[in-house]
Amino acid sequence: MFYDEVRIYVKGGDGGDGAVAFRREKYVPYGGPAGGDGGKGGDVLLYVDTHLNTLYRFSRKRHFKAPRGEHGRGKNQHGAGGADLRVAVPPGTVVYEADTDDLLGDLTEAGQELVVAQGGRRGRGNARFATSTNQAPRIAEHGEPGQERWLRLELRLLADVGLVGVPNAGKSTLLAAVTAARPKIAPYPFTTLQPNLGVVVLDPQTEFVLADIPGLIEGASEGKGLGHEFLRHIQRTRVLIHLLDGLSPDPLADFAAINGELDAFGHGLTEKPQIVVLNKMDEPTVRERWPEIRAALEAQGYRAMAISALARDGARELLYRAAQVLAELPEETPSQELPVFRPKDDERAFTVEREDDGWRVRGIQIERLAAMTVWNLDEAVRRFQRMLERTGIVAELEDAGVQPGDTVRIGERELVWEE
């Protein structure tokens, strides 16, 4: 099976907890708070590995979690940060947010990286909370939980030239004849069930990557046949070789149907240069039809060619023609810097919702604070209460009708409302 689309779960490492500790050193007259901070959680990064060409490795492992940061200790010792988790993907991998389908990044070149889940912030130790009026604070923070999400990875093959056409037009035969690739070849429709890549070497200065795209049929852009799964792979190619089956009842109708599917799929596929080629010229009937087919294609503005992939007649001329078209194309602009995931919403914004058995407060900042609060420390609880009042959440709950004894949920915490 050719793995070109998968869903994976990624989670950044949780931040380490801050410590509550006090100095007890000789000759230090007053001592003081000495709780160190926790370490930051590790990030999860995707990076391009040019040795990979499918997403097969994700068929066995789909969950990736970065290490958490170490906890802080006494004597102002800070915890070590969690190591980043680097996950290899093949070049041509497009990364989407699975739930929203937002594009996060397009990994095409060696060395590119994309942070897909950030590690949580370190929890502060009590040494960070010392002030002139509170010189012995008994307060610290838990580390922030790491970001977690489901991703959809989509592979679009990177090839210079793509072979397209109806099933059994001879694409796999041509690929096998001109490269070292050995695709499956048989005289029945949909022999090719996955794209195949091969490197064409014409001379020391001329080489390019050739892709055999599984056969398309009319309606492929709507999900018919097998080709709809692979239309996206054509997006990466710069030049198309449109191979016509010379033994087809109507090669020109096949040509029009495939172009119609490319146009229906969109993404600029019909704007790519096409080299139209009639295959199977080793058959007498095809040689007889060739003048009529060539005239019809030239009337549409195409400079058609004819080959026999099986006998390899005309194949080298076709490849040099493809290399020439490639050379005449403008250089591709370098890809822009990839985005690094950051929350898009206002962190201070919040909502208050009534639930069947209580209330739910949602908001990035307040949910983070709830997760980082150490609830068995009175000072930490009082600090959280002050934050509820300062942000207006208390007033919002009171306006909504909260009553003493009601349950208020913030993140994973359940609180009981009191006057």
pLDDT at 340: 55
Distance from chain centroid for Cα 246: 40
Q: Is the pLDDT of residue 260 over 60?
A: yes
Q: Is the pLDDT of residue 198 over 80?
A: no
User: 351-416 maps to which CATH number?
Assistant: 3.30.300.350
CB 214 within 8 A of CB 226: yes
Q: Is the pLDDT of residue 214 over 80?
A: no
Cα–Cα distance for residue pair 337/187, rounded to 1 Å: 46
pLDDT at 191: 41
Mean pLDDT of all residues in 201-206: 79
> pTM for this structure?
0.69
Residue range 157-195, pLDDT digits in tens: 667 888 888 887 777 788 877 775 454 444 434 444 456
pLDDT at 189: 44
Q: Is the pLDDT of residue 221 over 50?
A: no
Lowest mean pLDDT among 140-144, 177-181, 295-299, 360-364: 177-181
The mean of the pLDDT values for the chain is: 83
Show Cβ contacts of residue 10 under 8 Å, excluding neighbours closer than 6 positions. 44, 64, 65, 87, 116, 117, 148, 149, 150, 151
pLDDT at 345: 66
Tokens representing residue 108 in the block = 């095409």
pLDDT at 347: 84
Residue range 379-415, pLDDT digits in tens: 999 999 999 999 999 999 999 999 999 999 999 999 9
Q: Do domains 161-328 and 351-416 have the same CATH topology?
A: no
Highest mean pLDDT among 65-69, 192-196, 207-211, 354-358: 65-69
Of residues 294 and 224, which shows the higher confidence score? 294
Q: pLDDT band at 231, cuts 50/70/90?
A: low
Q: Is the pLDDT of residue 126 over 90?
A: yes
Domain ranges of the chain: 5-155, 161-328, 351-416
Of residues 3 and 260, which shows the higher confidence score? 260
Highest mean pLDDT among 158-172, 239-253, 333-347, 373-387: 373-387
Q: Is the pLDDT of residue 1 over 50?
A: no
Q: Which of 328, 303, 332, 331 is nearest to 241 (CA)?
A: 303
Of residues 345 and 147, which shows the higher confidence score? 147
Highest mean pLDDT among 66-70, 161-165, 241-245: 66-70
* Residues facing residue 140 across a β-bridge: none
Architecture of the domain defined by 161-328: 3-Layer(aba) Sandwich (3.40)
Q: pLDDT band at 197, cuts 50/70/90?
A: low
Lowest mean pLDDT among 105-119, 201-215, 400-414: 201-215
Of the CATH numbers 2.70.210.12, 1.10.630.10, 3.40.190.10, 1.10.1070.20, which one belongs to the domain with range 5-155? 2.70.210.12
Q: Is the pLDDT of residue 6 over 70?
A: yes
Q: Report long-range pairs for 211-214 (Cβ below 8 Å, ≥24 apart).
A: 211/157, 211/159, 211/161, 211/162, 211/163, 211/237, 212/163, 212/171, 212/172, 212/174, 212/175, 212/181, 212/183, 213/162, 213/163, 213/164, 213/171, 214/167, 214/190
Mean pLDDT of all residues in 248-257: 88
